Structure 1
């Protein structure tokens, strides 16, 4: 009986010790939302992969916040790039009491979801949204780690005239918040540099047939087409341009068309140097080592190259956690003021925000494509 009692007491002690250890560990939920299904899934999965790398690294490293060890849990959701889905998913994450949100992927999904996070007091960092409207809403919970369309679009407009010799441009946008926004800013930069829009046409973000608008554009004899939209539309458009004898006409766009996926979707119709695009971010030569290491690790783990924004998603999570550690709390209300003033050294550069939540001193990268792969033209501010 004595022996059995000792065994029983020991078992109780071990159970209590284990319970105490678990009580000392807090769970921090990080929400991530992107389009991991639908026509934009190649971007969405890329973003989610970046989030998974960050969460796994944090858990492997072991992080202490406010004296307690933390286990980070990624709550990954799919909004399929649809605004209605985005608000449903946002409410789901709020109800789950996530500590932070990274996302969404597009401007059209991020903007409506951001109000839901703001009303709940949950900080949100977007690693891909470029519409100025996102941070112009005045929500103190909204941040982004890439430049917005005002800088990106206008830079492309000026570059077209000053560096490519373009004077006459045909404009197409897909009527989304992103497509309209970047097209509007491109026109401003184009006109500032002395360029002219000779025709404006519209499509939608699910279109696959462009014969009618391309025929009208061909008649206006432009030097180049600017497209405000995504690769899922731009790829088939390039294929049909070639079929209509417009294969030598250059196509320019923003980050939405700036991945190797566009070549696959064009089915071999994209010629070297035909497409020029810009990524809303960029690493100058002096800071490339960390990013190259990330890219190599990404390819080893997932078997594919980074599309665009996986490193920025990774940095977004690391920035959020840096703010939590410095605040000594994962509670949104307590670490939010620290996040607003953070200066985090990430693999994509130093992350710091202005009064609206936009990235300070952000860069962008100009690209073209050769043999179907992105080739850097320049990194600029």
Structure 2
């Protein structure tokens, strides 16, 4: 080898030796699970929740986050529980096997409750942005949290409101026999009784039913002036349409699941005057929520459907807990989440010892001229 070739080889070796020192370290992938129904009748709600959580992760990744001094990239591990409790437990186990450090989900209370036991055994922090059955956080699991008020509060508030403010005298109840619908109706009934109101009839259906006329005919015969529906938006819209087809003048009232674009599309003009007491503040009047809506639409080319802000805030709380713990250890994240405080789209996120939101607000919405309009906020730090 001549002198020229020798010098060239030495230069190449020197550059090769320096390359690893100048190349930026690749960020470690950190998986956060997400679970909701992404197929079936409420898939649109599941996708809305998914996009809310994804937006939070996208915005965090743009800040080049680090944990323990090392760069990380947060990735959403998305699973479909099909609103089926058995599938929910299966995907919960899959997320454990995937090595997620936390989970945003589930949507349906009937899925969240059994899945939470899987996460508890694996010490995985779980934040639901949509499950409101009180039983979820009554199990004593330290790893379970939620970013909206539960039905044990909201249902009672709704029951008292219908008696004291709506002045309903003869109230009928229909629930869909799910953990969500039945639990909500139970709480509503308790609120009515606390306010000394009168429930003249309670009826039961299923979350697959489409014909409510036999039940409505019975309630019509009891001269009800308000019907409370414990169930989801699409069925609630069918209930109100069939009420009008039977000539019923009673008002339909919900608590936590009627307010959606789908309800407006299905119910049409029959939905006018329907009221729904939703967990959370009046997002249509909050600048932070309006700005969120713009960012959401720019990213996903669609408007917020229903609960995306609560999923966004759940992801914010999870990320904040990871940073506060400065660790990817599951148990440390659970401990950190119990003490986390963060201001999100829906307001202040902080949890009580059970994992429930502290001072949760509820907002009354009414369908006016074909649109959901906020009327007043009850409870919370700034509510009436």
What band does the TM-score fall into relative to the shorter chain? over 0.9
Measure the CA separation in 1 of the matches of 2:76 and 2:346: 21
2:261 matched to 1:263?
no
Alignment partner, residue 318 of structure 2:
320
- Give ranges in structure 1 of 5+ residues lacking alignment: none
Alignment partner, residue 253 of structure 2:
252
Alignment partner, residue 346 of structure 1:
344
Alignment partner, residue 197 of structure 1:
199
Alignment of 1:122-271 (within 5 A): 122-246=124-248, 248-271=249-272
2:49 matched to 1:53?
no
Measure the CA separation in 1 of the matches of 2:283 and 2:34: 28
Secondary structure of the structure 2 residue equivalent to 1:290: helix
Shift of 1:187: 0.6
Secondary structure of the structure 2 residue equivalent to 1:358: coil
Secondary structure of the structure 2 residue equivalent to 1:61: coil
Alignment partner, residue 289 of structure 1:
287
Measure the CA separation in 1 of the matches of 2:104 and 2:114: 15
Alignment of 1:294-309 (within 5 A): 294-309=292-307
Secondary structure of the structure 2 residue equivalent to 1:29: strand
- Give ranges in structure 2 of 5+ residues lacking alignment: 380-384
Shift of 1:12: 5.7
Which of 21, 25, 31 is 1:21 aligned to? 25
Alignment partner, residue 279 of structure 1:
278
2:47 matched to 1:33?
no
TM-score, normalization: structure 2? 0.93
Measure the CA separation in 2 of the matches of 1:279 and 1:8: 66
Shift of 1:220: 0.8
TM-score, normalization: structure 1? 0.94
Please say which structure displays the higher CA radius of gyration.
2
Secondary structure of the structure 2 residue equivalent to 1:125: strand
Shift of 1:337: 1.4
Counterparts in 2 of 1:326 and 1:36: CA distance versus 1, 3 Å: same
CA RMSD of aligned residues (A): 1.8
**Runs of 4+ deviating beyond 3 Å:** 15-18
Shift of 1:209: 1.0
Shift of 1:279: 1.4
Shift of 1:62: 1.5
Secondary structure of the structure 2 residue equivalent to 1:28: strand
Measure the CA separation in 2 of the matches of 1:114 and 1:178: 15
Residues paired across the two proteins, number: 374
Measure the CA separation in 2 of the matches of 1:376 and 1:115: 36
